[in-house]
Amino acid sequence: MRKTVFLFACAMAMNAASQNNPLLEKSFRIPFDRIRAEHVEPAITQLLAEAKAKRDAYVANAAPRTYANTMTAFEDIQEDLNQTMGLVRHLESVATTPALRAAVTNVLPKYTAFVSGIPLDKEIYAKIKDFAATPDAKALTGPRKRFLTWTLDEFRRNGAELGEADKARLRAISVEMSQLGKRFSDNVLDATNAFEIVVKDDTLLAGLPESARAAARESAKRKGVEGWRFTLQEPSFRAVTTYLDDAGIRERMYRAYNGRAAGGASDNVADMKRILELRRERARLLGYKNFADLTVEDRMAKNGDRVREFLATLDRKTRPFYEEETAKILAFRRSIEGDKAPALAPWDIPYYAEKMRKARFDFDEEAVRPYFPMDSVLKGMFELVHRLYGITVTKVDNAAVWNPAVQYFEVRDADGSLLGCFYSDLYPREDKRGGAWSDGLITGGPIDGTFKPHLGTINGNMTPPVGDKPALLTHRDVETVFHEFGHQLQHVLGRVPVRGLNDVAWDFVELPSQIMENWTWERECLDLFARHYQTGAPLPEDLYQKMRRARTFRAAYAQMRQLSLGVVDISLHVDYDQQRDGDILAYARRVFQRYTPAPVPEDYAMVASFNHIFSGGYACGYYSYKWAEVLDADAFTRFQKEGIFNRKAGMAFRHEILEKGNTEDPAQLFRNFMGRDPDPDALMRRNGLITK
């Protein structure tokens, strides 16, 4: 009796805690305005206890094995815990505070220990293998069959068949890597925020566009200083290095940006080495030659050697054009400054490239800004997907958000049913990490006989509104918005009946995002939104044609830049040996130099802030951007042939790509849409590097 009373009291206490903790409220409308750092540890602690109880009940269930009590119940063990931890990590990305950082740091080890321990759990693995041996399992078809096969493979790949000592070591590696990855990301944000240049003499601003001046003035005002303040946040950094005449300031910005987290209080160098050591050890324990083979085995590329072959092939095809471009930009500088003009330094390249583009095509990217106000871009993008996929995207007011700049939208199908919702957070802040990304917060879909809506976010760091002016975007910014919304489309349109199959292969995941960028170059699509923010006039045809002609300007350089990131990623994980190759920063510099048209300075340390591979999930996967770019360049040719708003082609892409998740092999999904395998030269043609 006493035990019953005690358990009842515990349950009541947990209920009370749930009612007072917004992270424990099971609501589709997440109360972001009420979530605080102090809620994190109690919520994760409670959900960990519940997940452990579910795990114990799962292995204790002696009933005959069925899909429901084996595979569905297996997914349920971590569902609430992972969803809540995802919300917490999202908030740390977009609205971090010292208290929130500390809270996440405190819960991360025990969370990681539990989650990484699931694929090592011999009792869970035994239940799944028992089910796999039943006639019911052998009769499975479609997504359920794929999920069973995929789950068994994931257990094997993650060490379920190892001895207990090796399993214990894998658990320890997972916990340490999660802590190191978080610290890496924190250090990058801190190093980014630690740097600023305040200019008080406006003569030093020569060459800088008015939009960048206004943003710098506004930044200075927010900090309570006189003059113009420049930071390492993307809009500020890009404007200075592209347009500012003062080479000294350009150099300071370049060195600061590419030296982030390579020393001082935010030094990532030791952690980078340790992360690589742990990844090598993990691969070795699991029986793989290297971390690339372990990581890529379940992706389209299948192994590290094929990744290297892919990157090397693109290198060979691109390098002659790249060398020609490099020679032309130096010749351009000397044509305007004389034969004795010095060789290009790295901080000169974007500056002279922009001048060369303007001279050759009479096109200045700043000229299109007035025609790309953010709200109009979003409306036009939503109209595009309405025409293609039959969906309607509508802004919803009064949603709880983590910052006043955040907006909330719902997505409905042609019959009015709710497919999902998403938040947009598109402007930089010092409490927000850099870059652009999309996240899924709640995964729904056709589950248990009903459709449950999805919830996600798109995030960016575009130039914000200044004064009474709206946020005005460059065309590159427009591409970024379309790109991240493409990721969100795959999330919100997903119709996967098994949650575990929502995440697609890593080298296929960029197809839905990158294909969206193609529409931003089409006149018919631009006419949906490219209108002057003051007059409403459409983008002038001559300006559009200049933009189109300049599209492939220095395409080889851009391709080699992306290849350099993919090559340094693979090289660090496969080739680098500290005893043989020495300092990791020097090693990475040597790799980057092969893809850089100017001598890389001795303090170049971009790899120390390479979040993608050290804290962002792209380790041995950065090649996937170029891999998927080949796919998207080819897939878009169907829309070019059938019409860029063609509903039949759009619905085929929706049904065969966006809705399917990982329910079929991605190569087959592509064939289902295109009727054939990818054309490997599609990307080179789109970039103007081959014409046949």
Specify if 460 maps to a domain.
yes
The CATH number of whichever domain residue 526 belongs to comes to 1.10.1370.40
Specify if 180 maps to a domain.
no
Query: Do 136 and 88 share a structural domain?
Result: yes
The CATH number of whichever domain residue 348 belongs to comes to 1.10.1370.10
Domain boundary among 259, 287, 303: 259
Specify if 188 maps to a domain.
no
Query: Do 108 and 221 share a structural domain?
Result: no
Mean pLDDT for 158-172 is: 97
- Number of structural domains the chain divides into: 4
Cβ within 8 Å of residue 379, ≥6 positions away: 528, 529
Mean pLDDT for 492-521 is: 95
Query: Do 269 and 202 share a structural domain?
Result: no
Q: What is the pLDDT of residue 10?
A: 43
Query: Do 617 and 564 share a structural domain?
Result: yes
Query: Do 234 and 96 share a structural domain?
Result: no
- What is the tens place of the pLDDT at every residue in 646-683? 999 999 999 999 999 999 999 999 999 999 999 999 99
Q: Is-contact 131 70, C-beta < 8 A?
A: yes
**DSSP string over 476-523:** HHHHHHHHHHHHHHHHHT---SSGGG-SPPTTTTTHHHHHHHHHTT-H
Specify if 668 maps to a domain.
yes
Q: pLDDT-derived band of residue 447, with 50, 70 and 90 as boundaries?
A: confident
% of the chain with per-residue pLDDT over 90 = 95
Does 16 have pLDDT greater than 80? no
Specify if 433 maps to a domain.
yes
Q: pLDDT-derived band of residue 18, with 50, 70 and 90 as boundaries?
A: low
Distance CA(82)–CA(57), nearest Å, equals 19
Query: Do 383 and 320 share a structural domain?
Result: no
Query: Do 446 and 399 share a structural domain?
Result: yes
Query: Do 128 and 224 share a structural domain?
Result: no
Q: What is the pLDDT of residue 449?
A: 85
Q: By residue range, what is the domain housing residue 670?
A: 369-549+625-686
Nearest to 658 by CA among 511, 525, 520: 511
Mean pLDDT for 80-93 is: 98
Query: Do 111 and 9 share a structural domain?
Result: yes
Mean pLDDT for 305-332 is: 97
Q: What is the pLDDT of residue 19?
A: 64
% of the chain with per-residue pLDDT over 70 = 97
Question: Which listed residue (484, 510, 517, 629) is catalytic?
Answer: 484
- What is the tens place of the pLDDT at every residue in 621-643? 999 999 999 999 999 999 999 99
Does 12 have pLDDT greater than 80? no
Q: What is the pLDDT of residue 68?
A: 97
Query: Do 271 and 239 share a structural domain?
Result: no
- The mean predicted confidence, pLDDT, of the chain is 95
Does 274 have pLDDT greater than 90? yes
Query: Do 559 and 543 share a structural domain?
Result: no
Domain boundary among 622, 648, 675: 622
Specify if 108 maps to a domain.
yes
Specify if 170 maps to a domain.
no
Does 13 have pLDDT greater than 60? no
Please give the radius of gyration of the chain, using alpha carbons only, rounded to the nearest integer: 26
Q: Is-contact 680 547, C-beta < 8 A?
A: no
pTM of the model: 0.95
Specify if 169 maps to a domain.
no
Q: pLDDT-derived band of residue 448, with 50, 70 and 90 as boundaries?
A: confident
Query: Do 307 and 208 share a structural domain?
Result: no
- What is the tens place of the pLDDT at every residue in 350-373? 999 999 999 999 999 999 999 999
Q: What is the pLDDT of residue 657?
A: 98
DSSP 3-state of 538: strand
Q: What is the pLDDT of residue 8?
A: 42
- The reply to whether 484 belongs to the active site is yes
- What is the tens place of the pLDDT at every residue in 557-611? 999 999 999 999 999 999 999 999 999 999 999 999 999 999 999 999 999 999 9
- Any idea what the Cα angle at residue 135 is, between residues 130 and 141, rounded to 5°? 100
Q: pLDDT-derived band of residue 6, with 50, 70 and 90 as boundaries?
A: very low
